[in-house]
Structures are given as structure tokens and as C-alpha cells.
Amino acid sequence: MPLTRAFKATVQARTRRDRKYREELLREGVECLLAGDLDTGKAILRDYINATIGFEKLSRLTGGRPRASCACSVPGGTRRRATCSR
């Protein structure tokens, strides 16, 4: 079931104001990736990135392209795990 914009906005607002929630969201995303649940992990990390620094700033910090960073974070994205973890 797709998430509504209101729900996404609620998650982003809470992520911005609540440090503990932000830490737990990041932890959950990484744990999902490590457990092999790539689609869920990428979705959680995408929400985390969007609510914190955004893909534009992330790509500037990592020397990548914004679209490539975003492709790594979407379920079924075109980027391979090995490429995304560089």
C-alpha cells in the first residue's frame, strides 16, 4: 500500500525535530539492509535522507550525482548494492 503525502510529511517533521527518532530510523534502515531486506531498508534510508540532509547535499558530500544516490534508495532501483555502497 503506497504511503500518503500526509504520512510522509509527518515522518519528515518528526525526524527533523526528534533526535532519538532520527537515530532509530537510521538504525532500522541499516538493520534491514544487513538482514537482506533491501527494499525496506532502502525505503527507510530514503525517508531518513530526505528528512535530514537531502540527496543534493549527500551527493555533494560523497562526490556522486543526486539521481544516482536516489536510485540506490528506491525499492527495485537500478543501482546494484555494490555500486551503492562505494
Q: Find the DSSP H helices in 1-86.
A: 5-17, 19-34, 38-51, 54-62, 66-73, 81-84
- pLDDT digits over 11-55, tens only? 889 988 999 999 999 999 999 999 999 999 999 999 899 889 888
82 CB-contact burial (10 Å; exposed 0-12 / middle 13-18 / buried 19+): exposed
Q: Which three cell numbers stand for residue 81?
A: 548494492
Contact 15, 24 (CB under 8 A): no
CA distance 64 to 83: 11
Look up the pTM and report it. Answer: 0.68
Whether residue 77 has pLDDT greater than 60: no
